[in-house]
Chain A
Amino acid sequence: MGIFRFHQYQVVGRALPTSTEGHPKIFRMKLWATNEVRAKSKFWYFLRKLKKVKKSNGQVLAINEIFEKKPTTIKNFGIWLRYQSRTGYHNMYKEYRDTTLNGAVEQMYNEMASRHRVRHPCIQIIKTATIPSKLCKRENTKQFHDSKIKFPLVCRKVRPPTRRLKTTFKASRPNIFM
């Protein structure tokens, strides 16, 4: 597992108990944020859209980071998202192959930024799921569903083992055949 920019948090919160409502409903959200503070803030943002409650008259009961259960197996992740483009809001469904959900979400953010110029504050993740291979929709993920997968590496990138040994000029042309 590498360093992830986006961590998955589970935030549980409710409105503060008042005289009229002694036991308000408790809400739980799973969301992605760079740190816990931002996760709590996002929680209140989404909860305000579902229930008339603000951070000032509510309380976060628990916030836990969720880690990948099996980071050594490859899974197909489907991500449903809502994003804001220059002209309006759109929904999207994207598929990624990765070992961890955090990795797939990070791939999604990077891809949205590069392909659609959408920065991460304008993306809301609606739902994520691990998709079994049979139900994958995108050809790009389906092409790797081959138990006898085999492909050659066409052009090898010749690079020194550490960046310290990098030089601007080389004495001879590199051999890029793998």
Chain B
Amino acid sequence: MVFKRYVEIGRVALVNYGKDYGKLVVIVDVVDQNRVLVDYPDIVRGQMNLKRLQLTDFKIEIPRVPKKKTLAEALEAADIKNKWENSSWGRKLIVQKRRAALNDFDRFKVMLARIKRAAVVRQELAKLRKSSA
């Protein structure tokens, strides 16, 4: 297997365990084999175990341990926020969050919408079947 995602300075990662679950962070330095220094505009720069991180495909150009301002500018220049939200992984997470935040009325609306969509699909399918039969 060829590796495509590396632990390197500037790699964007997702936190998938612990207090900062679900946040995107940028690796700004490597402490040792298991820990890295992570940073992002809205969190305090701190060390995190690599076991809590999942690397993404995105990487930004930053010097080692940049200032908060430099980091924010580099993230803006690489447009990581939009790229993440338009990537399939990012979109899946947004949908998951949205679904978890539905209330009962919303779920009722979703049910009606699904029934409606299924009805339209079945109508089209019936038309196709009739025309081919």
Chain A contacts to B: CB under 8 angstroms = 1, 71-74, 97-99, 141, 144, 147-154, 156-157, 159, 161, 177-178
Asked if B46 and A153 sit within 8 Å, CB to CB, the answer is: no
Q: Chain A residues with Cβ under 8 A from B58's Cβ?
A: none
* Residue in B37, B50, B65 whose CB lies within 8 Å of A153: B50
> What is the total of A-B residue contacts with beta carbons within 8 Å?
60
Chain B contacts to A: CB under 8 angstroms = 1, 3, 5-9, 16-17, 21, 29-32, 37, 44-47, 50-51, 54-55, 64-65
Query: Given that A74-B29, A99-B47, A144-B32 are contacting pairs, would A152 and B3 also be in contact in the complex, using a CB cutoff of 8 Å?
Result: yes
Q: Chain A residues with Cβ under 8 A from B16's Cβ?
A: 161
* Residue in B1, B5, B45 whose CB lies within 8 Å of A72: B45
Asked if A98 and B31 sit within 8 Å, CB to CB, the answer is: yes
Give the one of B8, B21, B31 with max A CB within 10 A: B31
Smallest CB-CB separation from A160: which chain B residue? B17
Query: Given that A72-B44, A99-B47, A178-B3 are contacting pairs, would A156 and B54 also be in contact in the complex, using a CB cutoff of 8 Å?
Result: yes
Asked if B7 and A152 sit within 8 Å, CB to CB, the answer is: yes
B87 smallest CB distance to A (angstroms): 16
B49 smallest CB distance to A (angstroms): 10
A159 smallest CB distance to B (angstroms): 7
Query: Given that A72-B45, A74-B31 are contacting pairs, would A150 and B6 also be in contact in the complex, using a CB cutoff of 8 Å?
Result: yes
* Residue in A99, A141, A147, A152 whose CB lies within 8 Å of B37: A99
Query: Given that A151-B7, A152-B6 are contacting pairs, would A97 and B50 also be in contact in the complex, using a CB cutoff of 8 Å?
Result: no
Bound complex: CA of A15 vs CA of B7, how far in Å? 54
Q: Chain A residues with Cβ under 8 A from B50's Cβ?
A: 153
A26 smallest CB distance to B (angstroms): 37
Bound complex: CA of A71 vs CA of B54, how far in Å? 24
Query: Given that A72-B37, A157-B51, A159-B17 are contacting pairs, would A152 and B5 also be in contact in the complex, using a CB cutoff of 8 Å?
Result: yes
Asked if A72 and B46 sit within 8 Å, CB to CB, the answer is: yes
Asked if A149 and B30 sit within 8 Å, CB to CB, the answer is: yes
Q: Chain B residues with Cβ under 8 A from A177's Cβ?
A: 1
B92 smallest CB distance to A (angstroms): 15
Q: Chain A residues with Cβ under 8 A from B46's Cβ?
A: 1, 71-72, 99
9 interchain pairs (CB within 8 A)? A74-B37, A99-B37, A148-B9, A149-B30, A153-B55, A157-B51, A159-B17, A161-B16, A161-B21
Q: Chain A residues with Cβ under 8 A from B1's Cβ?
A: 177
